[in-house]
Amino acid sequence: MGDLGTLLDLTFLFTAILLAGAISGYLSERSGIVNLGIDGMMCVGALFFGVFSSSAFWGGTPPFATIIVALLLTMICTMIMGVMHAFVCIHLKADHTIAGTAINLVGLALSTFLNPTLAGLLNPGESRIMCKYNSCLPVGNSLFGSSIIIFAVVLLIAIAIFFIVNRTKVGLRFKAVGENPNAVDAQGISVFKYQWIAVLLSSAMAGLAGGLFLFKVTAFNGDVQSMGYLSLAILITGGWRIPKITVFAIVFAIFNAAAGTTTFTQLGIPQLVVFSIPYIITLVVLLFSGRKSLAPAHSGIPFEKGMR
């Protein structure tokens, strides 16, 4: 049963990470800005969380309650990447794919580059950043480990976003920006404002996902093990809808967690196949839903006032 406990625990943690990442993509794409750079933002988020969770930052081993402050600080700092992305996509009207690729490259490069130096500064003698909350909040130990708290928090955020987007005036406007920004603009609502806020929140969520990722690994390597791309896959498979995203996040998390344990290997399925199952699922879902596009109508197209 210990195996199952680890599996469940890891599933909760991975669901939280992937859901946060997918919500990051959701927020951005719903406002019409394609965010391919979730992976890079997550890398930077993990780096910042490593800084804010270190004992050097808190002056000793941080108490568990400070995790909220650390995560919030991480989210705020990761907004730098959001600013980079938003400026290029919204104001310079660059190709969102190019900008996303650039963000990915910059994020990954910065985190790998800064990782050893920062680790040496924070904890002298170490070469990799580590999360100090791992000891307070051990993951993968019991049937209902502490990761369920993280999962619950992220799920709450997801539900909150679902209700805000679908039930409130602000949320509906926000959704409309992704579908028809010119109509929104005609109503006298600032499209740029909504897009900026969306991209900043998106990067904040990616930062959160990156921060949570540090719970998974004992030491940060500089990359987030393709979690960002998985989040993107979830976003696409989930058809840009929060409930479906949540479901697929859980499914993908199960596969990812199971790949780490011996569950599938015992059944005779190689680990590598399990790793690639989420991507295959995504491709298959795309094959069947590709024709009827579920994506926001105006995502990926720079908004121009004169186009209506």
The binding track of 66-105 with respect to another protein, each residue x by CB under 8 A or -, is ------------------x--xx---xxxx-xxx-xxxxx
Q: How far apart are CA 281 and CA 266, in angstroms?
A: 22
Of 15-23, 183-191, 215-223, 239-247, the window that binds another protein (rule: CB under 8 A) is: 215-223
Asked if residue 112 binds another protein (CB under 8 A), the reply is: yes
Q: Are 281 and 251 a contacting pair, CB within 8 Å?
A: yes
Of 166-174, 207-215, 247-255, 281-289, the window that binds another protein (rule: CB under 8 A) is: 281-289
Query: How far from 198 is each of 79, 174, 223, 288, CA to CA, in Å?
Result: 11, 8, 25, 29
How many CB atoms within 10 Å of residue 283? 14
Sign, Cα dihedral of 201, 203, 209, 212: negative
Q: How far apart are CA 100 and CA 122, in angstroms?
A: 30
The binding track of 236-265 with respect to another protein, each residue x by CB under 8 A or -, is x-----------------------------
Provide the minimum distance between the beta carbon of 55 and another protein in the complex, in angstroms, as a whole number.
21
Q: How far apart are CA 208 and CA 151, in angstroms?
A: 12
Provide the minimum distance between the beta carbon of 260 and another protein in the complex, in angstroms, as a whole number.
11
Task: Name the amino acid, one letter, at 154.
Answer: V
Provide the token pair at 199: 């991209």
Contacting residue, 13, 19, 23, 36, with another protein by CB under 8 A: 36
Contacting residue, 222, 234, 258, 296, with another protein by CB under 8 A: 222
Contact residues toward another protein (CB under 8 A) are 36, 84, 87-88, 92-95, 97-99, 101-110, 112-114, 116-117, 221-223, 225-226, 229, 232-233, 236, 270-273, 275-276, 279-280, 282-283, 286-287, 290-291, 293
